[in-house]
């Protein structure tokens, strides 16, 4: 019969637990009933339970890495996975990294910013954001890589470790979480926020047209159904307002970089006007240096220039606002590629993209540090 | 009379996208995916009562043969005031493109021998993956979208193929292969991603012919 006792017989009146193979079930039941021994079924199907546990374990090993060292940087992740990565990074490096909630999205998702600081009070700072346009997946993925890279550089006392001696770095990885969740569940090509537009069936505002710099001018759309809809008024989007509030209350941000894809461009203000930015010459030179550094790694070619001359007129865009706030070193990146895969950049290009972009970011950060204002 | 344009700036880039679309339509196939490696030079000429003409010097590469580049010159004429007329494109390719005869024949035989009509979706998928056996279908979509891009471009548009949403093979009684595509085109100025239905007929020796469904 092959009975397997999990709680062996110990004495009269004491319970016994036994696993019965399926083919012996009828015989055992009949025997117990005939002998007047009462029984109850604790687990109906042990195999099913084991199978479920196996699946769970496999799932867990894929979805929940135990540390940022086992996290898979070469894959695209969900919002939960990225938020869990952030928590692990903070746990592992409590003296360097902290997580700030700067607001909530339209659908009430937390807007998290990682702060990297070795101390001081309100040090001059660098801001980097990724994923403001949710379909640009290589940017959030690069943001995750940047976060780990900052921690590694600091631990090895190389790279940006020297920048962290005198400056803080703020990194918002999932700048548009509602849009990002939507690209996972429903529409991979979603760009905007997910706010409802009164009087329209169309959803969402372009968060890169919602800033208070030339708001509503040519270079954005007044149509809620458009991908470049500027929204009902500046900072109508909590995703934008939270950054505006943060920047204003911090008051000491010296470099601001907003990261997009695709097109392989490094851009500086302005997008809303043809008037050159007062220090356009300097920004152009920094861009040249940054792009050369980027290209040195894998030969990836970037073009650079002001937004309006290089791609198109765009009003209400992020770095036009930050620049007008006095953040002299305001830049936007458009990462890989130039159209072969576009938004659907193969995951195996995430790390090379992040690595080369990081070299350009370092040029910008070092320039800000060395040209304090 | 022709004004020099910075090749890194958008007016030149848009004209180049039209030239590349046109060239993909003419010379692309399941075994050849042409893409722009570098725009070397661009000039613009405004022709009274006719339109704006761009003179381009381009360096192209075949994604299946990236060690080589091919130089080419193109003229793209956007007709004045017309939103309904396709730009006029002339392209001259310098030198030879790598032969795809063998790959084309192999693809042709493989599809012809399929029991069930080929159907596929989301090429590439969300993570950028293209299964190797679907790469020729992907490249044929470049041919199809190249035609649509050429036909629908203006000085204010810059189209790229974002994704093949759906492709359905339709078996034919003649010798052509037929694929009905739904392609998503990303237009960079408006940032819209819009679906287009395109039908491609293809034959190893006759090449591609595109029609809209």
Assess whether B27 and B54 both reside in one domain. yes
Assess whether B143 and B72 both reside in one domain. no
- Give the closest-approach CA distance of B166 to chain A in angstroms: 15
CA distance B121 to B195: 13
Taking CA–CA distances from B129, the nearest residue in chain A reads A346
pLDDT of residue A58: 62
Q: Are strands A168-172 and A253-261 parallel, antiparallel or unpaired?
A: unpaired
For the segment B97-125, what is each residue's pLDDT rounded down to a tens digit?
Answer: 889 999 999 999 999 999 999 999 999 99
Assess whether B89 and B108 both reside in one domain. no
Task: For chain A, list residues with pLDDT below 50.
Answer: none
- How is the beta sheet containing B3-5 ordered, strand by strand? B3-5, B34-47, B51-62, B65-79, B88-94
Question: Measured between alpha carbons, how far apart are the two ends of chain A, in Å?
Answer: 85
Max CA pair span of chain B: 59
Contact yes or no for A310 and B10 at CB 8 A:
yes
Assess whether B144 and B41 both reside in one domain. no
Using CB atoms within 10 Å of the CB of residue A154, give its burial: 0 to 12 exposed, 13 to 18 middle, 19+ buried. buried
pLDDT of residue A62: 58
CA distance A114 to A129: 10
Q: List the domain boundaries for chain A.
A: 4-42, 66-371
CA distance B77 to A264: 27
Which residues, other chains included, contact A333 with Cβ-Cβ below 8 Å and sequence gap of 6+? A257, A258, A259, A260, A265, A266, A267, A357, A360
- The reply to whether B186 touches chain A by the CB within 8 Å rule is yes
pLDDT of residue A117: 98
Q: How many CB pairs under 8 A join A and B?
A: 75
pLDDT of residue A7: 85
- Pick from B94, B110, B136: which residue ends a domain? B94
Assess whether B161 and B59 both reside in one domain. no
Torsion angle, CA of A78/A84/A88/A94, rounded to 10 degrees? 120
Catalytic residues of A: 334
Taking CA–CA distances from B155, the nearest residue in chain A reads A312
Assess whether B80 and B162 both reside in one domain. no
- C-beta of residue A321 within 8 angstroms of C-beta of residue A211: yes
pLDDT of residue A61: 54
Assess whether B77 and B138 both reside in one domain. no
Q: Which CATH superfamily is domain A66-371 in?
A: Zn peptidases (3.40.630.10)
For chain B, the domain total comes to: 2
Assess whether B70 and B153 both reside in one domain. no
Task: Residue window 139-168, chain B: list those with CB within 8 Å of chain A.
Answer: 160-163
Which residues, other chains included, contact B191 with Cβ-Cβ below 8 Å and sequence gap of 6+? A191, A206, A227, A228
Interface residue of B159, B186, B191 to substitute, partner A, most A CBs within 10 Å: B191
Of A75, A183, A310, the CB nearest to B8: A310
Q: Are strands B207-211 and B193-203 parallel, antiparallel or unpaired?
A: antiparallel
Contacts of A342 in chain B (CB under 8 A): 160-162, 186
For the segment B59-91, what is each residue's pLDDT rounded down to a tens digit?
Answer: 999 999 888 899 999 999 999 876 678 999 999
Assess whether B6 and B76 both reside in one domain. yes
Question: Measured between alpha carbons, how far apart are the two ends of chain B, in Å?
Answer: 42
Q: Identify the bridge partners of residue A7 per DSSP, sorted by sequence position.
A: A17
Helix or strand or coil: residue A64? coil
In terms of residue numbers, what domain contains B203? 100-212
- The reply to whether A305 touches chain B by the CB within 8 Å rule is yes
Using CB atoms within 10 Å of the CB of residue A85, give its burial: 0 to 12 exposed, 13 to 18 middle, 19+ buried. buried
Q: Please, which pLDDT band fits residue B19 given cuts at 50, 70 and 90?
A: very high
Among A216, A249, A244, which Cα is nearest to A232's? A216
Of A188, A228, A338, the CB nearest to B126: A188
Assess whether B86 and B149 both reside in one domain. no
CA distances from A25 to A6, A43, A114 (A): 16, 13, 58
Which residues, other chains included, contact B63 with Cβ-Cβ below 8 Å and sequence gap of 6+? A340, B33, B34, B35, B139
**Where in A226-368 does DSSP place strands (E)?**
253-261, 265-268, 303-306, 329-335
- The reply to whether A186 touches chain B by the CB within 8 Å rule is no
- Pick from B43, B61, B94: which residue ends a domain? B94
Report pTM: 0.87
Taking CA–CA distances from B20, the nearest residue in chain A reads A339
- Pick from B67, B94, B121: which residue ends a domain? B94
Mean pLDDT of B183-205: 96
pLDDT of residue A44: 83
The CATH number of residue B188's host domain is 3.10.450.10
Q: Identify the bridge partners of residue B32 per DSSP, sorted by sequence position.
A: B29
Assess whether B208 and B114 both reside in one domain. yes
DSSP track, A288-309 = HHHHHHHHHHH----EEEEHHH
């Amino acid at each position: 019969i092959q009975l397997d006792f999990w709680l062996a017989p110990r004495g009269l009146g004491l319970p016994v637990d036994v696993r019965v193979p399926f083919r012996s079930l009828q015989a055992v039941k009949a025997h117990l009933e005939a002998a007047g021994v009462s029984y109850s079924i604790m687990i109906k199907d042990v195999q099913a339970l084991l199978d479920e546990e196996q699946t769970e374990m496999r799932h867990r090993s894929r979805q929940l890495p135990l540390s940022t060292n086992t996290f898979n940087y070469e894959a695209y992740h969900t919002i939960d996975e990225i938020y869990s990565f952030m928590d692990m990074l903070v746990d592992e490096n409590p003296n360097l990294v902290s997580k700030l909630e700067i607001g909530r999205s339209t659908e009430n998702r937390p807007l998290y910013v990682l702060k990297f600081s070795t101390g001081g009070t309100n040090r001059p700072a660098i801001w980097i954001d990724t994923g403001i346009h949710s379909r640009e997946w290589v940017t959030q993925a690069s943001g995750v890589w940047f976060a780990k890279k900052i921690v590694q550089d600091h631990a090895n006392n190389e790279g940006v470790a020297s920048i962290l001696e005198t400056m803080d770095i703020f990194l918002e990885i999932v700048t548009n979480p509602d849009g990002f969740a939507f690209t996972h569940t429903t529409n991979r090509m979603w760009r905007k926020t997910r706010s409802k537009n009164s009087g329209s069936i169309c959803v969402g505002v372009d968060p890169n047209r919602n800033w208070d710099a030339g708001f509503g001018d040519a270079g954005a759309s007044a149509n809620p159904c458009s991908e470049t809809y500027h929204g009902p008024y500046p900072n109508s989007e909590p995703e934008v307002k939270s950054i505006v509030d943060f920047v204003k209350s911090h008051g000491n941000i010296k470099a601001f970089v907003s990261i997009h894809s695709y097109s392989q461009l490094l851009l500086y203000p302005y997008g809303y006007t043809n008037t050159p930015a007062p220090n356009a010459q300097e920004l152009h030179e920094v861009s040249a240096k940054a792009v050369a550094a980027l290209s040195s790694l894998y030969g990836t070619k970037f073009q650079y220039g002001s937004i309006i001359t290089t791609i198109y007129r765009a009003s209400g865009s992020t770095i036009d606002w930050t620049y007008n706030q006095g953040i002299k070193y305001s830049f936007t990146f458009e990462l890989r590629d130039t159209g072969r895969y576009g938004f659907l950049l193969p995951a195996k290009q995430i790390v090379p993209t992040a690595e080369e972009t990081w070299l350009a970011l370092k040029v910008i950060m070092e320039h800000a540090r060395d040209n304090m204002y | 009379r022709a004004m020099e344009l910075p090749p890194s700036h958008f007016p030149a880039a848009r004209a180049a996208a039209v030239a590349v679309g046109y060239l993909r339509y003419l010379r692309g196939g399941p075994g050849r995916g042409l893409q722009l490696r570098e725009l070397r030079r661009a000039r613009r000429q405004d022709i009274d009562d006719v339109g704006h003409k761009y003179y381009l010097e381009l360096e192209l590469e075949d994604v299946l043969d990236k060690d080589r580049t091919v130089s080419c010159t193109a003229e793209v004429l956007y007709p004045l005031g017309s939103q309904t007329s396709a730009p006029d494109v002339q392209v001259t390719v310098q030198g030879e493109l790598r032969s795809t005869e063998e790959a084309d024949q192999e693809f042709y035989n493989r599809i012809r021998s399929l029991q069930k009509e080929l159907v596929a979706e989301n090429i590439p998928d969300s993570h950028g993956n293209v299964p190797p056996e679907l790469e020729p279908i992907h490249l044929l979509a470049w041919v199809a979208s190249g035609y649509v891009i050429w036909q629908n471009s203006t000085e204010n548009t810059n189209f790229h193929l974002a994704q093949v949403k759906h492709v359905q093979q339709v078996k034919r009684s003649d010798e052509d292969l037929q694929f009905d595509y739904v392609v998503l085109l990303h237009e960079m100025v408006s940032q819209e991603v819009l679906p287009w239905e395109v039908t491609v007929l293809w034959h190893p020796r006759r090449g591609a012919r595109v029609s809209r469904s």
